Structure 1
């Protein structure tokens, strides 16, 4: 079973994503914890759904760091945000993009595509 880690500072978003995905994936969620890197290593996800705006953390910087480390570069990263961003540069550093608000089918199809 593939593993999905959700890193988002909004508890409601984390809970909704968990409910959508937990029937098909092992799901673990984090808020904007300073120990995010250790928790990623401990859970060893196949996919991370990563909010760009995490309060005191920068999701884009986290994505770049994960993709630059030999031990984490294989992890697929789906960036997500409700803010307006130029998606071209985001698509270059991530494996997918999910705009908030999102619908259930979009989430399921995107995670399935990336996990397969």
Structure 2
């Protein structure tokens, strides 16, 4: 495949990625949404944790950018709820926070974060980390699909082996009857 075809395929894949941005500051929502949409991502915004949780099943994001400090439900709780649900547990979550203490970062990873970006953030860093997480997500999904294919093929091979063994046994019985 030529480098042009690879670049076009990469661009097409990126455009299909969906990202949920969760932040209680509207300026951050606007900035992040514009930054990501300019890169071709489909973006949904949520101003709080409750709305984020209600949007995830409908939107089915490939990645979530999640603020930690929000009223009512903080990002840690949102992350814990998503990670506790088998349907959403594999969605990578990048925390965005002004909290810069090691304790806060460690807690973010303990509740299931895939990455952590300090506020104020730099657009280039956000894009690099988003691209990295989406690439890992895509590779993980490809690996899961390949594992499912291998399991299916393994099952088919086992069934074919059993069928061959049954056929061989019938042939032996027929030969034994014919020679008796």
The alignment's TM-score, normalised by the length of structure 2, stands at 0.61
- Paired residue for 1:81, among 97, 114, 125? 97
User: Partners of 2:64 and 2:82 in 1: how far apart?
Assistant: 10
Matching residue of 1:19:
34
> What is the rounded CA distance, in whole Å, between the counterparts of 1:81 and 1:97 in structure 2?
8
Tell me whether 1:94 sits opposite 2:90 in the alignment: no
CA distance in 2, matches of 1:91, 1:33: 18
Q: What CA distance in whole angstroms lies between the structure 1 residues aligned with 2:74 and 2:107? A: 15
Which segments of 5 or more consecutive residues in structure 1 lack a partner in the other structure? none
- 1:68 counterpart = 2:84: yes
Q: Which has the higher contact order (CA 8 A, sep 6+)?
A: 1
Kept in 1, the 8 Å contact 2:22–2:64? The answer is yes
* Cα pair 2:100 2:118 within 8 Å, conserved: no
Match 1:58 to one of 50, 56, 74: 74
Q: Distance in 1 between the 2:71 and 2:88 partners?
A: 23
TM superposition shift of 1:55: 1.2
Instruction: Mark the structure with the bigger radius of gyration.
Output: 2
Aligned counterpart, 2:178: none
Aligned length: 116
In angstroms, what is the RMSD of aligned CA positions? 1.3
Q: Identify the structure with the greater helix proportion.
A: 2
Q: Deviations over 1:22-60 (max 9, x none)?
A: 022100101016343221111110000000011111110
Structure 2 residues not aligned, in runs of 5+: 1-15, 136-180
